[in-house]
Structure 1
């Protein structure tokens, strides 16, 4: 059965997805019809629990909810939505509305509050206004398609929520701190924010604060003039100046030495940088993005990171989930990497066998997306068939396949290994081995014959016996 395409609100764009929550079946049906007729895609839920389930598996642009629900109230549900999906707007409506209720709702961040019965045109106007607020600023209109996030492959709700927030933040010039474990894609997210921002046409410059030796870091960041120190034979433009007009990513900023933290803070405060050895500062116009896998809050408490700098770079905080927290993306990512790497190696590869994908989806990923890419590259390089088998995936994962033996085979292997150990211990003396096994010589000889073992092999040294 083919699925009908969703209507479009604008040429070439998918319809915006609304979640409508109410225990009144007639009202749900009526609202759904009106909203669909206006070009929206609509999903309905008759309870808070049903809404939570929908929110966990689908992505929405707006939620409309009754305040009174059979298993809770709309304000409590709004608080949960705000916690899990901070960028998702919510409009509440009720048949028992009062001015204090509306004031409380709006003070907590609800996008709108309507009292039943409401005029359908007023509702549509409120929806359109709320959705308009969430659109990127006109200056970022060059990134209205999804090209800005092309490197971030995902269909998980967790990542979509994060990318929605990143898209909103990109339109501003606010400093962003990107948190996440190593290999989760912090630099990719930073580049995506830059591409979706008004600064997209200007440079994007990234520097790993933990990869450059401390004596060189200041010169790399701020530049130096000729003669500033031994070896400074010419003027050197720093990365801060190189990012003028664009975006500077300070990757692993948690590893920045305290002495440089002070100088970076001065740059952020004064919007000017003074190269090493220079007598005056040069103005810079740039946006600062920072990334770290370290716990900066702990570093702050331990005095390893400056509090004033922390609040300068942490205007907005975005946290990338680990690969284990977005397992539904693993097959998608694996197939994406395989297609790209197959071109690199000039191989005709058709994908992963079903059990190979299962092995990828259930594996532990301490190295996150970077580790997955490395695993796919290894299997791609070693593949000799169009379909990647599980054995190749397990080899790349360094997983020893678990061999499930039947009772009879397990008993046979144990008995044979036991006899080998006895013969090794007694240097092939059958009488001594039989005594240790508490068996008579005749019975012991029959056991040796059953397993194809010859005592002479164990006399005069360590034999090479196949187990």
Structure 2
């Protein structure tokens, strides 16, 4: 008889109490740890408490049936194997479920030996192919988590990292898409090469084109030297295109051509430069809706969306909140030079129960606020409640806030004046020399804000790629 892995945990679901008892006895005798429940709803609740290594379920259940249970498990834990037990009348449903991802189904009455063999096969196939060790985990060191939801996601990410397929990271703002992209890069064969990230929605269109593809000296006004684009900077490594859903349509065409030809042509150049870059893109937008509205190219979508990873909201991984909060508190206490002994139990409970629409980023900002204002080593409930009632804002030093305001103010002036430095300086009530110094300080190129920045003859130097 096939033997079981040492004490593997199984979740068994059947509304027939006698059948449930019999299955539990047989599987327990075979060396498995068995948790038995009588409904799909109870199974889902159990999954929230402790994730098993396999689910064995009857198809016919009261309330949600076994197929609906499988769909929910597939959504929450894509790598968790499920075996269905079915009567003759539900075989077509079971066959369809197998096509959709159920590991296998067994028809009642079934042989005990066959059941044990199928369970052993499912466990063997779903076992991690990359054994974990402390050294192995450095690739995901920035991602603090112990939830089963994140464990599934990280397992997928590690498998994806072994290849070169383009990855689309989807998830709400603040869920940690850039951290996941960095983790995938570190787990890949490109780990020793550059990781470069660019936010496609935070840079003006003319500047974004030059940032991505580069430009040659004299390509436009103020182009005083050759400039390597981010594709060249990331050559051999990984390029993260963050907020790809906000990329202007004209640039989407040029990006698609670069991905197809694996070469970039800097602005003002007649030569294409080969690049070897793995693309990871990220978005919080619904790209399917954007495509339907003509705001995102379908051909580019399929280029970028070879593999999709969905990052859960913080509310979907609440068991990680205490771990994250204490991790952030330790970091921030060092930053502010404070002694910290953690959160009071009721303060930690308040954090765990909060809604967190801003996800992990919002949690970090709340912890930073309580750390900055705390006068005792132990963070109190009152301080946490105060921070949760206040709309969470990023805590910046005065110098950082001034720096950010200056850059946004200058970008606004250059947009308003179409890149005319004299007009922008006049509006700012500063002389041109001082204004140029400010632009240099913030690495802003006025020529990139001109409507004719792509060349005096009206031709688009990248359109021919």
What's the TM-score, normalizing by structure 2?
0.71
> What is the correspondence of 1:5-84 to structure 2 with a 5 Å cutoff?
17-22=9-14, 23=16, 24=19, 25-36=21-32, 42-67=34-59, 69=61, 74-84=66-76
Unaligned runs of 5+ in 2: 392-465
Name 1:430's counterpart in structure 2: none
The one-character-per-residue Cα deviations of 1:170-203 (angstroms, maximum 9, x if unpaired) are: 3333322222222221111222222333333332
Name 2:447's counterpart in structure 1: none
The one-character-per-residue Cα deviations of 1:389-429 (angstroms, maximum 9, x if unpaired) are: 233333434559xxxxxxxxxxxxxxxxxxxxxxxxxxxxx
Partner Cα separation in structure 1 for residue 12 and residue 103 of structure 2 = 14
Name 1:262's counterpart in structure 2: 253
Name 2:305's counterpart in structure 1: 314
Name 2:445's counterpart in structure 1: none
Partner Cα separation in structure 1 for residue 69 and residue 256 of structure 2 = 40
Kept in 2, the 8 Å contact 1:224–1:277? The answer is yes
Partner Cα separation in structure 1 for residue 133 and residue 259 of structure 2 = 28
- In structure 2, the CA distance between the partners of 1:33 and 1:360, relative to structure 1 (3 Å rule), is same
Name 1:130's counterpart in structure 2: 125
Partner Cα separation in structure 2 for residue 283 and residue 143 of structure 1 = 38
Partner Cα separation in structure 1 for residue 255 and residue 390 of structure 2 = 45
Name 1:277's counterpart in structure 2: 268
- In structure 2, the CA distance between the partners of 1:75 and 1:98, relative to structure 1 (3 Å rule), is closer
Compute the displacement of 1:250 (Å). Answer: 0.4
Kept in 1, the 8 Å contact 2:24–2:34? The answer is no
How many equivalent residue pairs? 381
> Whose RCO is larger (CA < 8 A, sep 6+)?
2
Compute the displacement of 1:291 (Å). Answer: 1.2
Partner Cα separation in structure 2 for residue 331 and residue 189 of structure 1 = 20
Secondary structure of the equivalent of 1:130? helix
The one-character-per-residue Cα deviations of 1:1-29 (angstroms, maximum 9, x if unpaired) are: xxxxxxx979xxxx764434455212222
Partner Cα separation in structure 2 for residue 9 and residue 119 of structure 1 = 16
Secondary structure of the equivalent of 2:312? coil
Name 1:461's counterpart in structure 2: none
Matched, 1:387 2:382: no
Kept in 2, the 8 Å contact 1:254–1:296? The answer is yes
What's the TM-score, normalizing by structure 1?
0.71
The one-character-per-residue Cα deviations of 1:93-149 (angstroms, maximum 9, x if unpaired) are: 4576998677544323222344520426733551344225x635x9xx999843333
Partner Cα separation in structure 2 for residue 268 and residue 276 of structure 1 = 17
- In structure 2, the CA distance between the partners of 1:183 and 1:102, relative to structure 1 (3 Å rule), is closer
Task: Tell me the C-alpha RMSD between the 2 structures.
Answer: 3.3
Compute the displacement of 1:321 (Å). Answer: 3.1
Compute the displacement of 1:241 (Å). Answer: 2.0
Unaligned runs of 5+ in 1: 1-7, 401-467
Partner Cα separation in structure 2 for residue 59 and residue 189 of structure 1 = 22
- In structure 2, the CA distance between the partners of 1:45 and 1:153, relative to structure 1 (3 Å rule), is same
Kept in 1, the 8 Å contact 2:291–2:297? The answer is yes
Structure possessing the higher radius of gyration over alpha carbons: 1
Compute the displacement of 1:349 (Å). Answer: 0.9
